[in-house]
Amino acid sequence: MTPVPRLELRRVSKTYRDNGQPLPVLHEISLALAPGSITALVGRSGCGKTTLLNLAGAMDFPTAGEVLLDGQSTARLSEAELTLVRRRRIGFVFQFFQLLPALSVIENVEVPLLLSGARRTREPALERLRWVELEDKAHAMPYQLSGGQMQRVAIARALVHSPDLLLADEPTGNLDTASGEQVLRLLQQAAARFGATVLLATHSPEAAAIAERRVRLRDGRIESIEPA
């Protein structure tokens, strides 16, 4: 029996409207991601990478086609169910880190657990910080960290609730080489150690290199998939 893909996109298209005019961003994208795999979306700016990540993370919905998480279409979920899916099964990492400036490092990591009403939040958060080697910065404020450190905190936060799917949008786009390499190692570990399915959008060949599959997008269409 063929295992159900963790994430599957079936002939997904997305069209925005700009001043009333249709603005197609994605055309009939079909893609399946196996559990625990790492897939890189590569292509130029504006090719639709971020839109595809948002569709995959149930933050947005396709104009046509279907996005399935473990075989379940996101379009059929109610707003409350979608919130639960985001809380429990998805983790996001952004190019600009997106830490909450009002919260300390440890509190930032705790947020997904807090939102889902978990009773134990401090221990799992500390464990993830230990993993990203920032335990000593637990009580620092985000602005006191370097870019690389902030992104490591963001990865810890994205994985604190052990999500099935980790979506990373240009995770090294704002980092120096050494920090970038450190972040990529963590993403690899995320898949290997926590069993997360990783989908990352990137410009960087180094980032793309950690993926088992590289999906090249061009003008909203899949140009190639390597290895095929």
Partner 1 sequence: MRLLRILMLRPLRRDALRTALTVLSVALGVAVVVAIDLAGDAATGSFRSSLATVVGTTDLEIGANGGIDESCLARLVSLPLDARFSPVIEDLATIDGLGNVPLYGVDLLGRSGILMSRPLARRMHLRPNDKLAITLNDTRQTYIIAALANSTDSEFLVLDIADAQKALNRFGKLDRIDITLAPREDFARAERAIRAALPPSYSLEKTGTRSEENQRMLRAFRWNLRMLSYISLVVGALLIYNTIAVSVVRRRGEIGILRALGAGRAAILWMFLTEAVVLGLVGSLAGVALGRALAEGAVGLIAETVNSLYTSSRPAPVSLGVGEALLGLLAGTAVALLSALAPAREAMNVPPTEAMARGAHEHHKRLRWRRDLSWAAVLAALAAAASQAHPLGGQPIGGYASVLLAIGAAGLAAPAVVLAVNRLTRHTVRRLFGVEGMFAGRSLAASLARTSVIVGALATAIAMMASVGILVGSFRETVLVWLDTQLRADLYIRPAGRTGADQFLALSRDLAPIVAAVPGVDAVDVFHALEFRYHGERATLGGGNIDIVRRSGRLRFLPGQDRDAILRSLPGQDRAIVSEPFANKHGIRQGDRIVIPLAERSLALTVAGVYYEYSSNQGFVILDRGTLLKYLPGQPPTNIAIYLRPGTDPAAVQREIQKRTAAYRIVIAPNQALRRNALDIFDRTFAITYALEAVAIVVAMLGAANSLLALVLDRRRELGLLRYLGASAQQIRSMILLEAGFLGLLANLLGLALGWVLSLLLIYVVNKQSFGWTIQFHPPTVLLACAVLAVWCATVLAALYPARVAARLNPVEVIHEE
Residues of this chain that bind partner 1 (CB under 8 A): 50, 54, 57, 59-60, 79-80, 83-84, 86-88, 92, 94, 96, 98, 100-103, 107, 111-112, 114-117, 141-143, 157
Tokens representing 200 are 């990352």
Minimum distance of partner 1 from residue 66's CB (angstroms): 19
Q: Which is nearer to partner 1, 32 or 54 (CB)?
A: 54
Minimum distance of partner 1 from residue 161's CB (angstroms): 8
Q: Which is nearer to partner 1, 34 or 111 (CB)?
A: 111
Q: Which is nearer to partner 1, 4 or 118 (CB)?
A: 118
Q: Is-contact 92 167, C-beta < 8 A?
A: yes
Region of 77 please: left (phi>0), alpha (psi -120 to 50) or beta: beta
Minimum distance of partner 1 from residue 50's CB (angstroms): 7
> What are phi and psi for residue 32, nearest 5 degrees?
-130, 135
SS3 140: coil
Region of 186 please: left (phi>0), alpha (psi -120 to 50) or beta: alpha
Minimum distance of partner 1 from residue 192's CB (angstroms): 24
Minimum distance of partner 1 from residue 96's CB (angstroms): 5
- Amino acid (one-letter) located at 77: L
Give the residue among 111, 133, 121 at the shortest CA–CA distance from 183: 133
Strands 165-169, 90-93: pairing is parallel
Whether the ω angle into residue 227 lies within 30 degrees of 0, i.e. cis, is yes
Structural element, H or E, at residue 95? none
Q: Which is nearer to partner 1, 61 or 181 (CB)?
A: 61
Q: Which is nearer to partner 1, 102 or 178 (CB)?
A: 102
Alpha-carbon dihedral 112, 114, 115, 116, rounded to 10 degrees: 90
Q: Which is nearer to partner 1, 11 or 88 (CB)?
A: 88
Minimum distance of partner 1 from residue 180's CB (angstroms): 19
